[in-house]
Homo-oligomer: A and B are copies of this chain.
Amino acid sequence: MTQKDQAVTRTLARYLVNARPDDLPQAVRDHAVRTFVNWMGCAIGASRHEAVEIAIEALSPFGGPAQASVLGRAGKVDVLNAALFNGISSHVFDFDDTHLKTVIHPAGPVASAILALAEYRCVSGTEFIHALALGVETECRIGNAVYPDHYDVGWHITGTAGVFGAAAAAGKLLGLDEQQMVWALGLAATQPVGLREMFGTMTKSFHPGRAAQNGLVAALLAARGYTSSEQGIEAKRGWANVTSTHRNYAEITEGLGERHESLLNTYKPFACGIVIHPAIDGCIQLRNEHRLDPESIASVLLKVHPLVLELTGKRTPQTGLDGKFSVYHSAAVAIIDGRAGEQQYSDTAVHEPRTVRLRDKVAAEIDPAMPPDAVHITITLNNGERLEKQVEHAIGSVKRPMTDADLSAKFTDLAEPILGGAATARLLDAVWKVQTVADVAELADLARPDTAAS
């Protein structure tokens, strides 16, 4: 069978169009709720970030009617702008979800597109969570088909695969038929967004936002009959061939409805690059087990996977963002505060004297045999005592997922400074119960300061 004969785009479109909520195991739907909770907390928490402020300021003069919410902010913007702004805010802390096999951050493009759409058309919680699960499934499968070549060459896969997830989920909510869904995927294929060169700048967060918008535009156009390729993904000059040297279409088309890639979505307990999560996890464990006093510590030695020093080897971070790329700073705050949330990565936190003193005592050594989600830690105290900890699978990994309680605590940490305690608690409760809601717009209302208190 030739690749052309596989009809990749059409097979995927047919699955998406025919899928019904009850076809998905309850565990898959519940995992999509976890994805939604995690995404919303991140978006609310970063809603005052400079990147979000600038984007709103720059583009609002051209915006349409007040239709949809920018989570954590008062007032409404048009559906397409809401998709962009929420996509930016949900990613700008680097705290959102991760499909580790592809390094895709799945929720940004998909949830940003369909929550905005759901505020415009009445969408039930059941439909919404179903569309979210399908969108995540779509982008992760398409990512699998081209990973790692596509990523290695320089594409920010969250945006380039994410646009398909957004188109699929939005198209599902719009009730596209098979032909329209094929076109929507074609219109998505032609709008890949995101180069890895943009990492370290605000443009990185623009990628999931623009992917959400592009996918939504694709679905809206297709719904009205705007024609596109029938083989946007697999054609000779289609998305996969143009953007990757390697392709495995079976990852997209096989086991649809049976194997659920969306179940592999994971959530970060710590607000920094995922490669240093094992070290933070282990430091927090040692801190809690030994009630460590930071001033009693003589040295900290981390044996780490090689990527840790390649990606997060900043010895003397000058800004909060630098701190997220410093395994030294991260280990220090983990021991001092017992956590590594946004507060631990502020511009002031990286200059806090106690943190700086402890940070200077942290050393890291590469162990080529160390798996990426593992670490070995040795803490030597001033009295000569040695404390050791081997972490096999960091908290937040597929093997040791965050619990629902962990996700609630993370959500609260992020949302409370924006919405206040009472409104955060009310929203969190409602978001966990999203599958029982008749109109998802109610949740968005609870996530806006102007309506959350009422």
A190 contacts B206, C-beta separation under 8 Å = yes
Given contacts A80-B62, A217-B59, contact A186 B210 (CB under 8 A): no
As a 0/1 sequence over residues 214 to 244 of chain A, the CB contacts with chain B under 8 angstroms (1 = contact) are 0001001101111111011001111101100
Q: Tell me, in angstroms, the Cα distance from A210 to B80 when the chains sit together.
A: 14
Q: A63 vs B190: C-alpha distance in the bound complex, in angstroms?
A: 22
Known: A62-B79, A64-B63, A197-B235. A202 touches B190 (CB 8 A): no
Cβ-closest chain B residue relative to A53: B224
Verify if A314 is at the interface (C-beta below 8 Å from B): no
- Chain A, interface size: which category? 35 or more
A51 within 8 Å of B by Cβ?
yes
Question: Do residues A78 and B62 form an inter-chain contact, with CB atoms below 8 A?
Answer: yes
Q: Known contacts being A197-B238, A235-B197, A238-B195, is A67 close to B78, with CB within 8 Å?
A: no
Tell yes or no: A249 within 8 A of B by CB: no
Residues of chain B with a CB closer than 8 A to A223's CB: 58
A194 within 8 A of B: yes
A154 at the interface (CB under 8 A from B): yes
Specify which chain B residues have a CB less than 8 angstroms from the CB of A156 in the assembled complex. 190
Which residues of B have CB within 8 Å of A202?
Answer: 226-228
**For A224, what are the chain B residues with a Cβ–Cβ distance below 8 Å?**
54, 57-58
A239 to B153: give the CA distance in the assembly, Å: 11
Contact present for A236 and B154 (CB under 8 Å): yes
**Shortest CB–CB separation between residue A215 and chain B, in angstroms?**
13
- Shortest CB-to-CB span from A83 to chain B, Å, is 10
Residue A187 lies at the interface, judged by CB distance under 8 Å to chain B? yes
A425 near B: Cβ within 8 Å? no
Partner of A189, one of B64, B197, B228: B197
Q: How far is the CA of A356 from the CA of B222 in the complex (A)?
A: 35
**B242 close to A227 (CB less than 8 A):** no
Whether the Cβ atoms of B189 and A206 lie closer than 8 Å is no
Bound CA span A78–B63, Å: 8
* Chain B minimum-CB-distance residue to A153: B242
Is A130 interfacial (CB 8 A cutoff)? no
Residue of B nearest to A154 (CB): B237
A228 to B201, Cβ gap below 8 A?
A: yes
A193 at interface by CB-CB < 8 Å: yes
A154 partner residues in chain B, CB cutoff 8 A: 236-238, 241-242
Closest B residue by C-beta to A56: B224
Task: Please determine whether B62 and A221 come into contact, CB atoms closer than 8 angstroms.
Answer: no
CB neighbours (8 Å) of A320 from chain B are none
A interface, CB within 8 angstroms of B: 51, 54-55, 57-59, 61-65, 67, 78-80, 153-156, 159, 183, 186-187, 189-198, 201-203, 206-207, 210, 217, 220-221, 223-229, 231-232, 235-239, 241-242
Could you name 29 residue pairs across A and B whose Cβ atoms are closer than 8 Å?
Answer: A58-B224, A59-B80, A59-B217, A61-B65, A61-B79, A64-B64, A64-B78, A153-B242, A154-B238, A186-B197, A190-B194, A190-B195, A190-B206, A191-B193, A195-B232, A195-B239, A197-B231, A197-B232, A197-B237, A197-B238, A198-B228, A198-B229, A198-B232, A201-B227, A201-B229, A202-B226, A203-B226, A203-B228, A206-B226
Closest 7 CB pairs of A and B: A154-B237, A154-B242, A203-B228, A197-B237, A58-B224, A197-B235, A201-B227
